[in-house]
Chain A
Amino acid sequence: MRSLCVEPFQNFSVVDTGARRTLTYCSPWKTNHKHEAVLFPPPSRPIRKSLCICLSSSSKLPVMMEEEKKTFDANEAALLVKELNESFRTGKTKSYEWRVSQLKSIEKMVVEREKDICEALYKDLSKPEFEAFVSEIAMVKSSCKEALKELKHWMKPEKAKTSMATYPSSAEIVSEPLGAVLVISTWNYPFALSVKPVIGAITAGNATVLKPSEIAPATSSLLSKLFEEYLDRSAVRVVEGDVPQTTALLEQKWDKIFYTGSPRVGRIIMTAAAKHLTPVVLELGGKCPAVIDSDVDLQVTARRIVAGKWQANNGQACISVDYIITTKDFAPKLIDALRKGIEECFGTDPMESKDISRIVSSNHFSRLQSLMDEYKVYNKIVVGGQRNQKELKIAPTIFLDVPGDSQLMQEEIFGPLLPIITVENVKDSIDLINSKPKPLAAYLFTNNDKLKNYFVQSVSSGGMAINDTVLHVTVSSLPFGGVGESGMGSYHGKFSFDAFSHKKAVLYRSFSGDSSVRYPPYTPEKQKLIKAVMNGGIFNIILALMGWSRD
């Protein structure tokens, strides 16, 4: 059932997770919360009092849903956290058996309900089944499989070396869960980006609350249903809703908050977390550049760019290619190759293709439209440009040499628009990239090893791929996360387990070998011996003991 909204809010303009315009937002909620000096994004519904159609069978639901939404306030949130903490304290979630049972249930859930999941993704994003499988379902399945295979090994304490300074002793690092954690998810890969962090949280032994994005309402309500059915309710829960519910959750004290979304909301999350000294992982976004050298295999390059742009939720992905930089001479060839690649993948009229996602909402459609229509860029379109507001479709569109101060080059695009910027020399592209905030991913296509090295050394980004796009996030031995504006912390594979764990240092000592050197009253002789012990040399220690130290 679509999520219900009776708009109590007025006086706001468009924004939602993923867009980055700052807006004024007046709400009766705001006045109660002194700390909300920074605004929180209102729901993505259009600017009017609206009553969304309830597609469920119950006609009483509009009023009930409104009440339901209203009742999840700070008190409810506090009760939820209390309940989860109590559950955590019983030690249940720490046990290997519990973690395995939940992981197996998630695996079962994905296998048994694949069809429902694909349907929800199609409802929310018109996501082609293939993309849904490859980028969401398969990713979740392989996360589960890996966690199940490796969990015993990950849970084992890690031995640590000890030195002369603490002799005799033994040391280890014990991984332990943090407690009750909050995962706030996003709308573009609403299934994978909800379930993967939850897998990480469960693998590490935590009690978890998932707040899926209201901008993907079908997936959000499916997740709520599926978690209820398949997972241990006493320790893993879903809270649906939008701003009020998220605000209520953020007021509580969590042991970790994991957020995927926009930098703007990331700031709000971190500020809320700061009140409780809650550590955060922020998986944000940015403008992911792709630099194309002229010595590349053009056909393969073009197809990989198509894969990394329009096959990635039609550009609505944090790691999709945001813009391209190439040399002036090479640009025309590249544009032709891209045009061909688009046609090969999506047919002569991409607007008719079933293999491409739509724009998620009318708000985002309007946002992208205004990016396209800005006077600085509208006449720079070289491929595409078609749009259909009713169906929320925009064709793969390429721009050539838009001005650096256009909105298209200032904001994260998060859509099917691809600006190509040309430079004299391909090396200049690196200065251009470094003049912007650090992106989540950076891509380079070249056969020139020197350029590869230079790029890797000089460009700071969350991750990078050379001669490909997007794939690096499927390698679970690589951490997936941002840096600077693109975020902090990382996950995937063992990094997920680590992200949701505390690594406790443990030192074992015995009573033997106690030296009075450690204790007052302090004397110059003790000083010499301490120096020798701390500097680690057994020779120095012997010298010091014999009174022959070098000081």
Chain B
Amino acid sequence: MIEFVQDNEERIFQALDQDVGKHPVEAYRDEVGVVAKSAKLSLSCVEKWMAPRKGDLPLVFFPASAQVMPEPFGVVLIMGSWNFPISLSLDPLIAAISAGNAVVLKPSELSPTCSSFLAENIPKYLDSKSIKVIEGGIDVCEQLLQQKWDKIFFTGSQRVGRIVMTAAAQHLTPVTLELGGKSPAIMDSSSNPTNMKVIAKRIVGAKWGSCSGQACIAIDYLLVEERFASDLIDLLAKTIKQFYGQNPIESKSLCKIVNKNNFKRLLDLLKDPLVEASVVYGGSVDEEKMYIEPTILLNPPLDSQIMTEEIFGPLLPIITLDDIYESIDFISSRPKPLAIYAFTRDEKFKKQILSRTSSGSVTFNDTLLQFLCDSLPFGGVGQSGFGRYHGKYSFDTFSHEKAILQRGFFPELEPRYPPWNSFKLHFIKLAYAFNYIGLILLLLGLKK
């Protein structure tokens, strides 16, 4: 796998450019680099991860040993996604392999160049008897889902997540669903102008710098106090220009929209007149090249589609509040998102966000980086999914933890067996309470 990404870096960049217009830097940072890092970590840790773990045993079991041993599930199915078509296919693949499974990978058909690149080249580097890449669309997915898998790992939308889980239920197949949601960013007032510049960069980077907003952990919408809104918008506009130049659609650093369907879907979000009227920056599109300019909206109606569905595109609504603390109720009254970003130095506010909202993850004063932190589990909760991976969590996600108790034949405890009497009951009660002294006294006839 490491060789695969090293040998084919250029070709991967080209495929990503073809499918989503991804710049090589983004492609390395979010795809090639992630896969290389994952593979290296697994390689260095797999022996440790595979080792059984000891469990604590109460004395009353003596002599005995208890351990938990990870074992592979068997044959697993990984369904990749189109927005990070290399890393969201290969990272789970690395995980499944390190846990010892045979794997079928089904890359997304919406990123066809990457899909066929994987189908053609993975067999050249990996054991093609145990690891297969199957290409195709909905009909192929349906056929695959009818089979009995030992585990299914799915990255994608909630709608398809339901279909996958329903199919898995027929075979009692455990699933990990990496879904999405509306990941909000909160910005409070406790930042000085220098920090504000950094915040603006991080917001712009997290929205448009990640597949042009087509990322499960991209900032979906922003919450800020009314009085800071216009300054923030100005700053964001400046930063956008800084990153993407005067004409972002011409910039090589911005991804395109993956296909016509999604392009239309995004345009439809803007069709609502009230939504259209709330656009304060951007809004222009190039239908032929399928680019949408970074677009900011201010206070679109909360019941509009753009505020009820996951946007997954380069449109950023900003919702203003009277008091930033209201953001907590705002977020917690909506489905649990995959990520929450909060720019604040108010420690009390941070604590409230952590305890009164629920999300896959929370990142303070930055964006997206939680994805790179291998010691943090990456996964959703509620509508944003369940299960997790990255680092050792990847290995665990594709393993069954088998509990093993080993005993000897000696000594043998009579009170375990019928016929029952009050002595045996007393014995067991003491044993359960780990009252060893009591047990000894009982056995010596000194306890009633």
Chain A interface helix/strand/loop/mixed:
mixed
B205 is an interface residue with CB less than 8 A from chain A: yes
Chain B contacts for A356, CB-based, 8 A: 418
Q: Mark B356-370, 1 if CB is under 8 A from A, else 0.
A: 101111111110011
Q: C-beta contact mask, A460-483 vs B, less than 8 Å → 1, else 0?
A: 111111111001100101111001
Max chain A C-beta neighbours (<10 A), residue from B64, B174, B365, B374: B174
Q: Is the CB of A505 within 8 A of B205?
A: no
Also in contact, A519 and B209, with CB within 8 A (given A133-B429, A277-B179, A504-B358):
yes
User: Which residues on A sit within 8 Å (CB–CB) of B170?
Assistant: 267, 271
Known: A163-B373, A166-B369. A270 touches B168 (CB 8 A): yes
List B contacts of A534 (CB < 8 A): 28-29, 33-34, 36-37, 372
Q: Which of A130, A263, A284 has the most CB of B within 10 A?
A: A130
- A11 beta carbon closer than 8 Å to chain B: no
Q: Contact at A263–B172, with CB atoms within 8 Å?
A: yes
A123 to B68, CA, bound (A): 38
Residues facing A in B333-390 (CB within 8 A) are 354-356, 358-366, 369-370, 372-378, 381-383, 385-388
Task: Give Cα A477–Cα B420 distance, bound, in whole angstroms.
Answer: 29
| A282, closest chain B residue (CB) | B172
Give every chain B residue within 8 A of A505 (Cβ-Cβ): 360-362, 370, 373, 376-378
Say whether B57 contacts A523, CB under 8 Å.
no
Q: A residues within 8 A CB of B418?
A: 128, 130, 311, 345-346, 353, 355-356
**Which of B226-234, B316-324, B409-417 is near enough to bind chain A?**
B409-417
Q: Which one of B111-119, B159-167, B275-283, B436-444 is at the interface?
A: B159-167
| Contacting pair B404 A511 (CB below 8 A) | no
C-alpha spacing A179/B244, complex, angstroms: 43
Q: How far is the CA of A124 from the CA of B289 in the complex (A)?
A: 71
**Is A522 a contact of B26 with CB atoms below 8 Å?**
yes
For B204, what are the chain A residues with a Cβ–Cβ distance below 8 Å? 519
Q: Which of A271, A506, A531 neighbours the largest number of chain B CB atoms within 10 Å of its CB?
A: A506
- Is B172 within 8 A of A464, CB to CB? no
Query: Is A521 located at the chain interface by the 8 A CB criterion?
Result: yes
Which residues from B are CB-within-8-Å of A307?
A: 416-417
Judge whether B406 and A467 touch: CB under 8 Å. Answer: yes
Q: Which residues of B contact A130 (CB under 8 A)?
A: 418, 420, 424-425, 428
Set A128, A166, A353: member contacting B372, Cβ < 8 A = A166
* Chain A neighbourhood of B43, CB < 8 A: none
- CB <8 Å contact, A519 and B169: no
Contact of A507 among B33, B364, B400 (CB under 8 A): B364
- Shortest distance from the beta carbon of B16 to any chain A beta carbon, whole Å: 13
- Tell me whether A535 and B355 are in contact in the complex, defined as CB-CB below 8 angstroms, given that A130-B418, A300-B409 are known contacts: no
B253 within 8 A of A: yes
Evaluate contact between A530 and B29: CB separation under 8 angstroms. Answer: yes
Q: Known contacts A472-B66, A511-B191, A521-B245; is A277 also within 8 Å of B158 by CB?
A: yes
- B378 nearest in chain A by CB position: A505
Q: Which of B69-122 contact A (CB under 8 A)?
A: 69, 71, 73-74
A427 part of interface (Cβ distance < 8 Å): no
Q: Let me know if B290 is at the binding interface, CB within 8 A.
A: no
Give A335 to B403 CA distance when docked, in angstroms: 29
What is the 8 Å Cβ interface bit string for chain A, positions 319-362, against chain B (1 contact, 0 not)? 00000000000000000000000001111000001011000000
Given A270-B169, A479-B403, A505-B378, A138 contacting B428 (CB threshold 8 A): yes
Say if the beta carbon of A169 comes within 8 Å of chain B.
Answer: yes
Contact with B along A257-272 (1 / 0, CB 8 A): 0000001001100110
Q: Which of B58, B201, B375 contacts A171 (CB 8 A)?
A: B375
Closest A residue to B387 by beta carbon equals: A279
Q: Is the CB of B254 within 8 A of A94?
A: no
A300 x B412 contact (CB < 8 A): yes
* A87 vs B365: C-alpha distance when bound (angstroms): 31
Q: Mark A428-456, 1 if CB is under 8 A from B, else 0.
A: 00000000000000000001000010001
Residues of B within 8 Å of A282, CB to CB, are 172
Interface presence of B150 (CB below 8 A): yes
Given A141-B432, A270-B172, A534-B372: A478 touches B403 (CB 8 Å cut-off):
yes
Partner of A460, one of B366, B381, B400: B400
Q: Does A28 contact B (CB under 8 A)?
A: no
Contact B362 A504 (CB under 8 A): yes
Chain B residues in 8 Å Cβ range of A69: none
Query: Does A109 sit within 8 A of B, measured CB to CB?
Result: no
A138 and B430 alpha carbons, distance in the complex (Å): 10
A547 within 8 A of B: no
B209-223 interface (Cβ within 8 A of A): 209
Q: Nearest chain A CB to B435's CB is how many angstroms away?
A: 12
Q: Mark A127-156, 1 if CB is under 8 A from B, else 0.
A: 011100110001001100000000000000
B52 to chain A: closest residue by CB: A456
Judging by beta carbons under 8 Å apart, are B403 and A507 in contact? no
Separation in Å of the A276 CB from the closest CB of chain B?
A: 8
| Interchain CB contact under 8 A, A463 and B251 | no
Cα A480 to Cα B407 with chains together (Å): 18
Contacting A518 at CB < 8 Å: which of B205, B383, B412? B205
> Which residues in B have their C-beta under 8 angstroms from that of A277?
158, 161-162, 165, 177, 179, 382-383, 385-386
B contact residues vs A (CB 8 Å cutoff): 23-26, 28-29, 33-34, 36-37, 40, 55-58, 61, 64, 66, 68-69, 71, 73-74, 150, 158, 161-162, 165-166, 168-170, 172, 174, 177, 179, 191, 194-195, 198-199, 201-202, 204-205, 209, 243-245, 251-254, 332, 354-356, 358-366, 369-370, 372-378, 381-383, 385-388, 400-410, 412, 416-420, 424-425, 428-429, 432
Supplied contacts A179-B358, A483-B402, A534-B37, 8 more A-B pairs, CB within 8 Å = A163-B374, A271-B170, A462-B403, A466-B404, A471-B407, A502-B381, A521-B251, A535-B33
